[in-house]
Structure 1
Amino acid sequence: MPELPEVEVSRMGIAPHIEGHRVNKVNVHDARLRWPVPEQVHQVEGCRLLRVTRRAKYLLLETEQGVLILHLGMSGKLRVVPIETPRVKHDHIEIEFDTGHCLRLNDPRRFGALLFTEDNVEEHKLLAMLGPEPLTESFTADYLFQRSRDKKQPIKTFIMDNHQVVGVGNIYANEALFKAGIHPKRAAGAISKARYQRLVKHIKETLAEAIQQGGTTLRDFTRADGSPGYFAQKLQVYGRGGKMCMRCKKPLKEIRLGQRSTVYCTQCQR
């Protein structure tokens, strides 16, 4: 599943091609996505697309009429192509612009979504209860420390909870906890503020690096221009279970935590 950095890379890829341009038509070739695509998406036809923003993993296409809420699901891809470009299998949605190009959503598993709202998008039921964005000033060690008090759940599942902070996916949680020297099973409420300061710092740095490098989660993800959207990061623990720790040279341990693969160093993480 595309994580926050991959969605942000996608936003950066499509925005220059569609912002400021008028939507001529919305073609829904298959409405059977995660939720049925509502007829209201056609209300943006004839409207100018003002900007493309992101909230968590949702792309928000803001128009003069309302906001299209787009989610890539498990396998969604976005491309901006000339309208006459033949569609390929699983091209379910097309948004045509007055430039002669269209934004296409290709989604083999159909876990993606395209919704519409005329109301304040931040109050939409999918967004209203989300935690802060990790790369903003509102995500601080003080915030995370206060939210964690009396929490007995493992710190890894705590920081992956979108109600606490959005966008810290499995890869990035593994990496940030390793860099901060925190054991993934340690209770969130048992971690000091000083350690949360290190953790928040490494969450921000890890996500920022992933965005800069284009992401790392899906090998088959392509950006709007068709080039690979994911570039290998120097992952220190994720996907390296059983291999030597890059710091202490002891074997990394791999377990299942919250139904997700979790890799850590028994020596470096406490």
Structure 2
Amino acid sequence: MPELPEVEVTRLGLEPALLGARLMDLRLGKPLRWSLDIDPAALAGLRITALQRRGKYLLLLLEPASAESPLAQGTLIVHLGMSGSLRWTPAAQIPAPPSPHDHVEWQTDRGVLRLHDPRRFGAVLWHAGDQVQAHPLLRALGPEPLGAGFDGAALCRALAGRQAAIKPLLLSQHIVAGIGNIYACESLFRAGIDPRTPASHLRPADCQRLAAAVRDTLQEAVALGGSSLRNFAHVDGELGYFQMQARVYGRAGQPCRVCATPVRQIVQGQRSSYFCPNCQKILKAKAKRGIR
């Protein structure tokens, strides 16, 4: 599934082309995970004024092209699902015929954008008005891991009293937004924390180390263009390369890149966790006395 780095790479790739573009038509193919919630014809004429990201969601902010327009502002919330990617064709090029897996097509005055999604778990939804963060898909998300609101102290507060293992909590999207399986595994490896460690066992220093590992892992992934594990590709068709640098993810039985101990694979919450049993430790419970 495309995670935060893949969505951020997509946003960065689309921003120069789409910022300020006028939407001429929005065409829908086979139904996706959720409905658009508006007649596509009602969006024609709106202008894309910003491209933002919240967790794993890409946000296309649209406003009327003129003050006399009867259209109201709003946001198209785009989720890439399990296998989705966005492909851009500038106006100077003739776009290829739509494939059976191209389910949404934005026709703009600058070119054509298509959502390619073989498994159809992705979605494009309309949210009217300027308060998109109040949308049910977004309002319960945790802090952005690359933003100023996420650090060791914030992580400690979010984990306080939680007995569940740290790895599934990182995937929940309520503790921190945008992290999926590959980056949770890699972040825990960098922090030296076993994925089975109860969250309540993390001390402030552990939280600080893990928060820094999450930030460093995601920043490296964005710089490498994300991970192309299945169908993900950049808006120009290029692939991401972070998966080639992974320390533990997808490397069960192979030697740890640090200590040569074979990487282990277990299942947590129906998701595979990869870790080094030597480099990553199950943290012991905090002593009752003196812990604040």
Question: What TM-score bracket applies, with the shorter chain setting the length?
Answer: over 0.9
Residue 70 of structure 2: aligned partner: none
Residue 44 of structure 1: aligned partner: 43
- Counterparts of 1:82 and 1:268, CA distance in 2: 47
- Counterparts of 1:129 and 1:249, CA distance in 2: 40
- Counterparts of 1:172 and 1:76, CA distance in 2: 18
Instruction: Name the SS of the counterpart of 1:144 in structure 2.
Output: helix
Change (3 A) 1:76 1:230: farther
Contact 2:228 2:240 in 1 (8 A): no
Residue 98 of structure 2: aligned partner: 87
The code of the aligned residue for 1:77 comes to S
- Counterparts of 1:131 and 1:167, CA distance in 2: 9
The code of the aligned residue for 1:237 comes to V
Normalising to structure 2: TM-score of the pair?
Answer: 0.87
Residue 154 of structure 2: aligned partner: 143
Could you list the per-position Cα deviations for residues 177-221 of structure 1 after superposition, in whole angstroms to 9, with x for gaps in the alignment?
Answer: 111111110100011110111111110000000000001143432
- Answering whether residue 85 of structure 2 is matched by residue 77 of structure 1, we say yes
Among candidates 140, 146, 155, match of residue 166 of structure 2? 155
Residue 145 of structure 2: aligned partner: 134
Structure 1 runs of 4+ with >6 Å offset? none
Displacement, 1:38?
2.8
Unaligned runs of 5+ in 1: none
- Counterparts of 1:183 and 1:19, CA distance in 2: 43
Displacement, 1:227?
2.0
- Answering whether residue 248 of structure 2 is matched by residue 240 of structure 1, we say no
- Counterparts of 1:231 and 1:250, CA distance in 2: 22
What's the % identity of the aligned pairs? 45
Residue 187 of structure 2: aligned partner: 176
Moved more, 33-42 or 20-29: 33-42
Contact 1:132 1:166 in 2 (8 A): yes
- Counterparts of 1:37 and 1:215, CA distance in 2: 27
- Counterparts of 2:228 and 2:267, CA distance in 1: 18
The code of the aligned residue for 1:13 comes to G
- Counterparts of 1:217 and 1:191, CA distance in 2: 32
Contact 1:44 1:66 in 2 (8 A): no
- Counterparts of 1:29 and 1:215, CA distance in 2: 27
Contact 1:241 1:263 in 2 (8 A): yes
Change (3 A) 1:127 1:171: same
Displacement, 1:136?
0.6
Instruction: Give the alignment of 1:214-225 within 5 angstroms.
Output: 214-225=225-236
Root-mean-square deviation (CA, aligned residues, Å) is 1.5
Change (3 A) 1:45 1:230: farther
- Answering whether residue 123 of structure 2 is matched by residue 113 of structure 1, we say yes
- Answering whether residue 266 of structure 2 is matched by residue 255 of structure 1, we say yes
- Counterparts of 1:232 and 1:255, CA distance in 2: 19
The code of the aligned residue for 1:249 comes to A
The code of the aligned residue for 2:2 comes to P
- Answering whether residue 184 of structure 2 is matched by residue 185 of structure 1, we say no
